[in-house]
Amino acid sequence: MDGHGEDCKVYTAGYSFHRKPFYMNEPDGIHNYLFRLQTEGSCQLRCDGELVQVETGELHMYDPDEPYELRIGDTVDVTGKRVIESGDYHIFFGGVWADEWWHKIKRPCKIKIPLTDNIMDLMRQIAMEKRRIDNPHPEISSHYMKILCLSIDRYLSEQPVGAPRTYLAYQIKSYIEENASSAFKLEDIALHIGISVSRAVHLFKEAFDTTIMQYALDVRLNMAQERIMFSPMPLEEVAESSGFANYTYFHRVFRSRFGMSPKEFRLSKREHIT
């Protein structure tokens, strides 16, 4: 898949979810640029020459000649149970514009993003465009891809430089994103960060203009939305695996957020895709 001669071409894009061990190794590179966003669970990826543990919310970026290695195996969850679970969005792309963008500045091989971020929405939209069987406007995915690349640069430019108060707020944010599928209390977050509950609540509100529990709800709803769209899970299992204590509450907040029930949402997306 040669990207030269194309402006910005998306070759493949999609969502993968693994519950069984999986291994992939391309020591000579993958011959295209690759964005891979871990949306749930964990895995191991080669990054800067080393095999590293990948957690939810990490976006990894690869150039065509960079060795690529992916390992998905069992891990231990918060209850001590050994599980295999890994979900990700992935986009293979190339082209002259992509080459120019890639070499414009030096970027880290991975960045941590909120799963409610615009970057995730763009990756989902690109994946949906590539799933269309009859697509009279294939250039749409190219435009989305350019926006995604530029959004990544903007996101990197807006990251905090390490001020203590901001750093603590981002630690809280990361904890929420990594533990949203499990039940947790404000006390758990405060203990993890090493500050009082009142200070954690104040710092997070000050930094992000929302409450800790509202942000946790946002992450859980987006997680559930992804699973409804791209997995065959029963809706009750979607609710439970996305951190909701019961289906009745999940049904109510989902309808409030998206304007339809989880069942209606699943049916509408299937009709849209087909």
Instruction: Specify the CATH class of 164-273 in words.
Output: mainly alpha
What confidence category does residue 271 fall into, taking pLDDT thresholds of 50, 70 and 90? low
Q: What pLDDT score was predicted for residue 82?
A: 73
Matching fold, domains 9-157 and 164-273: no
pLDDT at 33 over 50: yes
Helix (H), strand (E) at residue 261: none
Q: Are 182 and 222 in contact (CB under 8 A)?
A: no
CA-angle at 264, arms to 261 and 269, nearest 5°: 125
Write the CB contacts of 216 (distance below 8 Å, at least 6 apart in sequence): 176, 180, 184, 243
Q: Sketch the domain layout of the chain as residue ranges.
A: 9-157, 164-273
Secondary structure element (H or E) that encloses residue 20, with its range? none
Class (C level, CATH) for 9-157: mainly beta
Query: pLDDT for 198-232, tens place per residue?
Result: 999 999 999 899 999 999 999 999 999 989 988 88
* C-alpha distances out from residue 146 to 30, 38, 92, 97, 101, Å: 20, 21, 13, 8, 9
Higher pLDDT, 3 or 44: 44
